[in-house]
Structure 1
């Protein structure tokens, strides 16, 4: 048995007391995962029964509902609520859905690299191939939005043993793959430390709506319960709360409210 080489154990109760700017107890970030899937690719199997067929028309068209319809419903929702989101962005979105990029630039969204497409994972890539994939992803996003992303979320939250070193080499400042804490902590790389910003597999429509089959109302209740607990704990030491969303799931008419 061995400990993770990227970070050391730290009990949250031992962290020095602090609050976020303005005395806030909770730093809330909403992550909108905007992704591209090639026709015929696997991933995000909303209808598992249809996934065994080729062509898989059902899942492809369901996934396409996200950028065609659901994202615009979510844009309106974020505008009404005054939420500036962070986008986990597949680089292929820049070429295939430029209207979405334009909408995000108008709203000054934050952009995280999220691989070229969500139809692939970093797992199994050689170090050199992975470096090429990460570098190409960041360069394409930079050409599209005008600035290089500072953050990264791996497709499927899947890394290799080289991912963090490559991300540090490419100038990434924070990652969201490591869901080990409610407070940011540093991950060690060959070059410099990278900040791990708390993401969530619990307050995430992929896990709750797609896999646990909870209703929109239940998802809302869990979001509120999560916040209330973190807010209470944040009286002594600030917390981070992440809400991870995917347009094709949360952007459905019966869930968006």
Structure 2
């Protein structure tokens, strides 16, 4: 980072903030993200499947109300199977002009162990499904569980993608070795699924957002930074947590140096500067 040319954000803002909203679909009877591993291998696994399913049935609608209240457009990490399973969510996002990223087919399957021909076919199917439902081809990718193969960025570039979120090791975008492909920051630290799974509380989440913003704002004295906040409706959409997301958005919206934006806009602003 210290060897890079400085980057700036539109309007002289110092910190680009994006909300990575994971809108996912989980196959019934398949083990996946679990709140209680003790039943994860059972069929049916009512405990864990129900916990995950709460996000699409209830939690997402609370999150949408909070986003609307503060005028925030999320960067939606969309499992393509959501298109058929939860069309109401896709319709709500189209109405609000959300930014759509591909997030694999389902979070019940990791994006691994694919032959090159199979991966090319799977990626094309995911892309076509999202385009057919939203009218837009996704430009960004994040694999289920942040998984890729060694060929994924190259195959994505063939399909017109320009960035991935799987590499969580920077506070700025940067070019990949595949021409025209970039990495955009995402977080496995400021991530509701992992934070609350460790026993942190809503007030802890709010304080972490504030602390992250303040530190990145201080760092931006030399070059602009990115603050990614990763959200899952079945976690942050729980009734006892939503108010802290609302408070965090209110805080960020009030900061004069915060650019509340999307991953598409971040990569466009970054590319325009490095290609000048």
SS at match of 1:14: coil
Q: Which residue number corresponds to residue 227 of structure 1?
A: 213
Q: Which residue number corresponds to residue 3 of structure 1?
A: none
Aligned equivalents of 2:149, 2:35: Cα separation in 1: 26
Q: Report if the CA contact (8 A) 1:50-1:59 is conserved.
A: yes
1:51-84 deviation per Cα after TM superposition (whole angstroms, max 9, x unaligned):
1322211111111101000000000010111111
Gaps of 5+ in 1: 1-11
Q: Report if the CA contact (8 A) 2:73-2:97 is conserved.
A: yes
Q: Which residue number corresponds to residue 10 of structure 2?
A: 21
Aligned-CA RMSD value? 1.0
**CA displacement at 1:251 relative to structure 2:** 0.4
Q: Which residue number corresponds to residue 162 of structure 1?
A: 151
How many residues align? The count is 243
Q: Which residue number corresponds to residue 135 of structure 2?
A: 146
The structure with more helix, counted as a fraction of residues: 2
Aligned equivalents of 2:79, 2:90: Cα separation in 1: 11
Q: Report if the CA contact (8 A) 1:141-1:148 is conserved.
A: yes
* Aligned positions of 1:84-233 closer than 5 A: 84-189=73-178, 192-210=179-197, 212-233=198-219
SS at match of 2:175: strand
Q: Report if the CA contact (8 A) 2:29-2:44 is conserved.
A: yes
Q: Residue 252 of structure 1 is aligned with which of 238, 241, 244?
A: 238
Aligned equivalents of 2:13, 2:221: Cα separation in 1: 9
Gaps of 5+ in 2: 244-276
* Aligned positions of 1:29-108 closer than 5 A: 29-108=18-97
TM-score, normalising length: structure 1? 0.92
SS at match of 1:53: coil
TM-score, normalising length: structure 2? 0.86
Aligned equivalents of 1:54, 1:18: Cα separation in 2: 51
Q: Which residue number corresponds to residue 223 of structure 2?
A: 237
Aligned equivalents of 1:209, 1:124: Cα separation in 2: 30
Aligned equivalents of 2:133, 2:151: Cα separation in 1: 27
Q: Report if the CA contact (8 A) 2:31-2:41 is conserved.
A: no
